Every structure is written in structure tokens, then in C-alpha cells.
Amino acid sequence: MVDEDRKAGTADKVKGSIKEGVGKLTGDEEKEAEGKAQKNKGKAQDKVGQAKDKMRDKLDK
């Protein structure tokens, strides 16, 4: 079972990448920075979810 943090993290990474790309394409530095920040938030959230999954797996054994 995949942790909800991993799902949300992946969604934030995708949304952030899109937002960053739109910012680059339009020359909107603020939108680009927002996208990078959202992407980094998603990466961190995914790591939290991975850690939770590992702990859950160890407890299940």
C-alpha cells in the first residue's frame, strides 16, 4: 500500500514542473519560482511517504 504522502508528493512534483515550465515559457520568473518551490515540496513529501512505507513494512514483518 502506498502512503498518501507519496501520492500527494508526486502530484505536487508534477504540478510544480508544469508551473515551472509555464513560467519559463512566458518569462514569468515568479511563476517559475513558485513551480520550483512546489516541486521541491513534493519531493520532500514523497520522501516522508517513503519513510512511512518502510516503517510500515518493518512493522508488518
In this structure, are residues 49 and 2 in contact, taking their beta carbons and an 8 Å threshold? yes
| pTM given for the model | 0.83
pLDDT given at position 60: 84
Block residue for cell numbers 512493522: 59
Domain count, the chain: 1
pLDDT band at 15 (very low <50, low <70, confident <90, very high): very high
In this structure, are residues 50 and 7 in contact, taking their beta carbons and an 8 Å threshold? no
pLDDT given at position 1: 65
**Please, what is the average pLDDT of the chain?**
93
Structural domain range at position 25: 4-60
Phi, psi of 20 (to 5 degrees): -65, -45
